[in-house]
Structure 1
């Protein structure tokens, strides 16, 4: 019997007083509990910042999708913190992921781009923005 794995691997790095790099690797079908872990971590990282700028490196190559409640959690995260997202680099390998990244960009104040490889995505995030 194999165990079903889902969720995020998360790395958060603060750079200076107003910048955060959130690197995430999503696996399986995301659930509400995954966002109950992610959101407090992100909010803790930006706590005390007056004008945080959040850059995101999101690897979706192992993502299968979201349960309905998790999709709602994702939307709420975008609505609450969307203006704080500076650049979102989405790494994926499926056409629906590219489409989802375009739709997701409507809910953020910054720029989102889709990449098929991690290296150019990270290079784009590291450009001065």
Structure 2
């Protein structure tokens, strides 16, 4: 299950339990809408309560990241899990956004808000 929150140029997602393909599709739909109408966005993934993810989510994430390689400003990942930290680092291969891992939500949001506004 996921919860989503969005503000101008930011999409925040918190995952609880198993991250399923239906959850990921919900995330994709929101991000696609934001990109279409606002341009590049920053992402906040709160994975501290995630119990795992399905293989189809991993595959969908790779496809989505490649398709939107230039559509993200910054990506903050909240986790204390070393595997997820490594996974976040690997995802930088597919996107040109800065990706950082945090264990404190305030620090993550502060870093995301420090993003410069895009040129109009």
TM-score normalised by structure 2 residue count: 0.88
Deviation at 1:117, TM superposition (A): 0.7
Give the distance between the partners of 1:125 and 1:36, measured in 2 at CA: 23
Deviation at 1:8, TM superposition (A): 1.6
Determine helix, strand or coil for the equivalent of 2:10.
Answer: strand
Determine helix, strand or coil for the equivalent of 2:92.
Answer: helix
Give the distance between the partners of 2:30 and 2:110, measured in 1 at CA: 24
Q: Which runs of 5 or more residues in structure 2 are unaligned?
A: none
From 72, 79, 84, the equivalent of 1:97 is 84
Residue matched to 1:29? 18
Q: Which runs of 5 or more residues in structure 1 are unaligned?
A: 1-6, 15-19
Tell me the alpha carbon deviations over residues 33-82 of structure 1, each in whole angstroms, 9 at most, x when there is no partner: 11222212211222245xx2211111110112211111111111111112
Moved over 4 A (4+): none
Tell me the alpha carbon deviations over residues 80-120 of structure 1, each in whole angstroms, 9 at most, x when there is no partner: 11211110011101111111110112111110001111111
Considering only aligned residues, what root-mean-square deviation do their CA atoms show, in Å? Answer: 1.4
**Which structure has the larger Rg over C-alpha atoms?**
1
Give the distance between the partners of 2:12 and 2:63, measured in 1 at CA: 19
Determine helix, strand or coil for the equivalent of 2:68.
Answer: helix
Determine helix, strand or coil for the equivalent of 2:96.
Answer: coil
In the alignment of these two chains, the number of paired residues is 116
TM-score normalised by structure 1 residue count: 0.83
Give the distance between the partners of 1:128 and 1:109, measured in 2 at CA: 14
Residue matched to 1:38? 27
From 43, 47, 57, the equivalent of 2:36 is 47
